[in-house]
């Protein structure tokens, strides 16, 4: 059903330049990251205040108008994409740092603030934010919370859920719930923020957040090394946890992934030769001023030498500058989409000891059925989180459902979960029951029904 004329005129009355419709809606707002354009939404709303968000929701609730919340549109599960005649509610104009409280070590921000802006504000005030991920320049804090983003530093600081102390949200009927707690301990009844963290815009619109800050980190020490087998990768993970001061990232790239990136990353000279080994990116960063950075560098060098003597590591490089460290990260983070037709992304978690066997079986089964397929395995291994990028390497073949069925059946067999950090959105909705029990799903539906009885918040997503 198209948007009602009455609702549209009520929306226009909320403020100039808040609403646009038809061809005036840039295609960006209905084109998911790395995917073809979705249907154009009924309207695009860009509120400039929290009150405006609440007014919009109140009106949409009265008219039964479906709403898709949008952050920075970097999500990889198509959760922010309109499916039909919803209105898009973009939080992009609701941005800004409202307060940094050095005593509480907190930062209070509006939901549309880009992650990188929050990171920079924290650094300037002598702190570090616990979340970092490749899309930092575009993704928003509201989107990070709505997806419970994981990222590159989860082994040190946890996931987004662990950074959030307080939240402000607008419910489906326009009710504003302000719960901007700054305290680490607050057991006064249910901790309601957890309902919204990871709810992918289906239970409420996040408008503000209070985030925890950590003492500022010194510039990191970054190394890339080659490791012969998946058993060796697990062994050095355990030793890195124990022996490396300030371990912050432990990222693993399977041999095919490294070879592909070395060949396809524009302007890149591979820092280590392409071999059939695993490539492990290790980063350490201690609190600024707590320990001499030379000591951290020395610890990393010593550990690399020990691993080489034990023949677990066969080659390694230590970044001598931030620029070199960025090059090492570029290999891990910058998957060149254009060279991977119909790329299908997976973001699974598995018991860490089973990841090697899972990846080998998965590759074997994929290639047995689609011999030309490119299957790239990489991930935040320290968090048990494996990403897989699969392209059947055939512009005429996009058997997405068949590939998904194969991978998710294996994930279930290995007792993993279909989403580690990207969420369910649209893409993983058909498979949710592989990772949740009927009782869990029933409770999720009860929550949704109770909090959004008209089903206007991001319909067709998650459940």
Ligand X SMILES: Cc1cc2nc3c(=O)[nH]c(=O)nc-3n(C[C@H](O)[C@H](O)[C@H](O)COP(=O)(O)OP(=O)(O)OC[C@H]3O[C@@H](n4cnc5c(N)ncnc54)[C@H](O)[C@@H]3O)c2cc1C
Look up residue 161 and give its two tokens: 């859920």
Indicate which single residue of 135, 227, 325, 406 sits in contact with ligand X (rule: CB under 6 A).
Answer: 135
Binding mask 262-291 for ligand X (x = CB under 6 A): ------------------------------
Q: 50-63 vs 5-14: helix axis angle to the nearest 10?
A: 170
Closest CA to 417 of 401, 434, 438: 434
d(CA 95, CA 206) in angstroms, rounded, equals 12
Q: Are 208 and 167 in contact (CB under 8 A)?
A: yes
- Considering only 97-105, 131-139, 397-405, 427-435, which stretch makes contact with ligand X by CB under 6 A? 131-139
With respect to ligand X, which residue has the nearer C-beta, 253 or 313? Answer: 253
Q: Closest distance between ligand X and the C-beta of residue 42, in Å?
A: 16
With respect to ligand X, which residue has the nearer C-beta, 112 or 356? Answer: 112
Q: Closest distance between ligand X and the C-beta of residue 152, in Å?
A: 6
Indicate which single residue of 3, 29, 66, 75 sits in contact with ligand X (rule: CB under 6 A).
Answer: 75
Q: Closest distance between ligand X and the C-beta of residue 133, in Å?
A: 4
Position closest to ligand X via CB: 143
CB atoms within 10 A of CB 353: 11
State yes or no: residue 144 binds ligand X (CB under 6 A).
Answer: yes
- Considering only 95-103, 150-158, 243-251, 433-441, which stretch makes contact with ligand X by CB under 6 A? 150-158
With respect to ligand X, which residue has the nearer C-beta, 203 or 410? Answer: 203
Q: Are 26 and 70 in contact (CB under 8 A)?
A: no
Look up residue 298 and give its two tokens: 């020395």
- Considering only 142-150, 351-359, 391-399, 403-411, which stretch makes contact with ligand X by CB under 6 A? 142-150
State yes or no: residue 46 binds ligand X (CB under 6 A).
Answer: no
Look up residue 294 and give its two tokens: 């030379």
Burial (CB count <10 Å: 0-12, 13-18, 19+), residue 140: buried
d(CA 274, CA 417) in angstroms, rounded, equals 31
CB atoms within 10 A of CB 426: 19
State yes or no: residue 151 binds ligand X (CB under 6 A).
Answer: yes
CB atoms within 10 A of CB 99: 12
3-state secondary structure of 188: coil
With respect to ligand X, which residue has the nearer C-beta, 268 or 318? Answer: 268
Strands 221-227 and 344-349: unpaired
Binding mask 169-208 for ligand X (x = CB under 6 A): -------------------------------xx---xx--
DSSP state letter for 173: T
Q: Which residue has the tokens 């570029």?
A: 330
State yes or no: residue 149 binds ligand X (CB under 6 A).
Answer: yes
Q: Could you tell me the sign of the dihedral formed by the alpha carbons of 148, 358, 370, 388, in that order?
A: positive
With respect to ligand X, which residue has the nearer C-beta, 316 or 459? Answer: 459
Indicate which single residue of 153, 156, 193, 422 sits in contact with ligand X (rule: CB under 6 A).
Answer: 422
State yes or no: residue 407 binds ligand X (CB under 6 A).
Answer: no
Q: Phi-psi region for residue 120, left (φ > 0), alpha (ψ -120 to 50) or beta?
A: alpha
- Considering only 65-73, 175-183, 391-399, 406-414, which stretch makes contact with ligand X by CB under 6 A? 65-73
Query: Which chain residues interact with ligand X by CB under 6 A?
Result: 33, 68-76, 79-80, 91, 111, 133-135, 139-140, 142-144, 146-147, 149-152, 200-201, 205-206, 421-422, 425, 458, 461
């Amino acid at each position: 059903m198209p948007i009602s004329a009455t609702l549209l005129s009520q929306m226009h009355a909320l403020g100039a330049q808040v609403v646009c419709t038809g061809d005036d809606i840039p295609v960006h707002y209905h084109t998911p990251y790395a995917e073809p354009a979705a249907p154009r939404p009924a309207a695009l709303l860009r509120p400039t205040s929290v009150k405006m968000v609440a007014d919009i929701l109140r009106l949409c609730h009265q008219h039964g108008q479906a709403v898709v919340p949008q952050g920075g549109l970097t999500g990889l599960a198509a959760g922010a994409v309109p499916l039909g005649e919803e209105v898009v509610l973009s939080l992009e104009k609701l941005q800004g740092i409202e307060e940094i409280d050095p005593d509480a070590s907190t930062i209070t921000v509006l939901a549309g603030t880009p992650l990188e802006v929050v990171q920079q504000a924290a650094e300037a005030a002598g702190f570090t934010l616990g979340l970092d991920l490749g899309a930092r320049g575009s993704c928003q804090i509201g989107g990070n919370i709505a997806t419970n983003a994981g990222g590159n530093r989860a082994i040190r600081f946890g996931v987004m859920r662990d950074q959030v102390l307080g939240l402000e949200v607008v419910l489906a009927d326009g009710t504003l719930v302000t719960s901007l707690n700054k305290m680490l301990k607050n057991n006064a009844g249910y901790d309601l923020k957890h309902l919204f963290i990871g709810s992918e815009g289906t239970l409420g619109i996040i408008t503000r957040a209070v985030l925890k800050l950590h003492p500022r980190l010194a510039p990191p020490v970054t190394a890339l090394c080659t490791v012969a087998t998946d058993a060796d990768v697990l062994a050095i993970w355990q030793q890195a946890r124990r022996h490396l001061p300030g371990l912050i990232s432990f990222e693993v790239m399977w041999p095919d992934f490294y070879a592909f990136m070395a060949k396809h990353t524009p302007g890149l000279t591979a820092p280590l030769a392409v071999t059939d080994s695993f490539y492990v990116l290790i980063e350490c960063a201690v609190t600024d001023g707590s320990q001499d950075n030379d000591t951290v560098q020395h610890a990393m060098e010593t550990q690399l030498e020990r691993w080489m003597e034990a023949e677990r590591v066969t080659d390694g490089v230590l970044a001598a500058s931030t620029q070199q460290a960025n090059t090492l990260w570029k290999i891990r983070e910058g998957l060149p989409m254009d060279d991977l037709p119909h790329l299908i992304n997976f973001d699974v978690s598995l018991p860490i000891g089973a990841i090697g066997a899972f990846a080998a079986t998965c590759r074997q089964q994929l290639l047995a059925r689609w011999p030309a397929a490119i299957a790239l395995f990489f991930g935040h291994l320290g968090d048990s989180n494996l990403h897989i990028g699969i392209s059947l390497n055939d512009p005429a073949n996009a058997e997405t459902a068949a590939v998904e069925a194969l991978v998710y059946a294996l994930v279930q067999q290995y007792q993993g979960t279909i989403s580690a950090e990207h969420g369910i959105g649209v893409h993983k909705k058909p498979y949710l029951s592989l990772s949740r029990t009927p009782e869990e799903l029933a409770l999720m539906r009860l929550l949704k029904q109770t909090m959004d009885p008209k089903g206007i918040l991001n319909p067709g997503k998650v459940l």
